[in-house]
Copies of this chain bind each other. A is one copy, B any other.
Amino acid sequence: MAAALALAERGRGLTAPNPNVGCVIVSDGRVVGRGWTQAGGRPHAEAMALGEAGEAAREATAYVTLEPCAHEGGRGPACAPALAEAGLARVVIGIGDPDPRTDGEGIAHLERAGVAVTRNVLAAQARRSMAGFLTRRALGRPHVTLKLAASLDGRIALASGESRWITGPEARAHAHLERARHEAILVGRGTLAADSPSLDVRLPGLEARSPRRVVLTSAGAPDGWMAIAAPDDVAALESVDHLLVEGGAKTAAGFLAADLVDRLLLYRAPILIGEGIAALGDIGLASLDAAHGRWRLADARALGSNRLDVYERARASSGKVDTTFPPG
């Protein structure tokens, strides 16, 4: 399943509104098929893996990060019947598909066909892997990541505006990799005016993965950009399930004030700036009590002399799609 989750990452930022799924087929201890949702959503991961496995799929085990679909999408056959027809002995699944056209029906189809099904395997990782798809299903909007690149004392620029560079080359390369994992990147009006950022992915081999560009403004969008007037309007961004918010401080604060941030990328350079420009403007915090309990550390790593901490928004479970199968 870990291998299937790694394959699923290849589709992140390319498959909306489809989930980025990964699939590995194993026969007699050997990997005979690998697949991941292709750009635009087709073929599905299972179809690609079945194609690679061919006859070797018979009596094999498939590991799929999401419940195989039970519904034909008009652009290809449904995956649960395809897995059954290929003669798989067993299908191991990460999480259930909340799409009402599948939602348990994929599993039911497999079991009716005599395929053994195992559920909830690495479910937490699978949920994280498909955060864009699940957030769109649960909250009707993209999964939003906010990037902050700051000094140890939380400054993103000197008082003079000088900000190149606070972070080091490894951290900047990582930030470009994160861009490639999102369908769109958003900046504020001020950042657009000051920096005219290209927001492209400047990493060898990934140049074509540069996401669409969005600006937060009530004025119109310049050529090559989309515009939204308020943070809440991200819901209307079509085929965007992963949105990366890159700043500036006022835009970041606007998304936080609207509680629209699901994930926080905090790049920190080992420098102190003192008086300067703060990472965040007013987020509407009334008391310290209200600030606690919202963020949970999900990852921490060194990037050269810089550090990256990844925090995830800890939301009440009511805001989640239930993707866990009841024990059974």
Contacts and interface: CB of A to CB of B under 8 A. Distances in A.
A270 interface: yes
A284 B274 contact: yes
Contact of A270 (B162, B269, B284, B296): B296
A291 B272 contact: yes
A245 interface: no
Interface string A110-148: 000000000000000000000000000000000000001
A162 B287 contact: yes
Contacts of A201: none
Nearest to A261: B272
Contacts of A166: 288
A283 B276 CA distance: 10
Contact of A271 (B257, B271, B284, B294): B294
A108 interface: no
A115 to B, nearest CB: 43
Contact of A153 (B270, B275, B280): B280
B154 A155 contact: yes
B270 A274 contact: no
Contacts of A75: none
B288 A164 contact: yes
A133 to B, nearest CB: 26
A133 B44 CA distance: 66
Interface string A58-98: 00000000000000000000000000000000000000000
A255 to B, nearest CB: 11
B264 A274 contact: no
Contacts of A300: 307
Nearest to A290: B271
A270 to B, nearest CB: 4
B281 A275 contact: yes
19 contacts: A150-B153, A152-B154, A152-B309, A154-B279, A158-B287, A162-B288, A164-B288, A269-B292, A270-B296, A270-B297, A271-B288, A271-B294, A272-B283, A272-B285, A272-B295, A273-B285, A275-B278, A275-B280, A275-B281
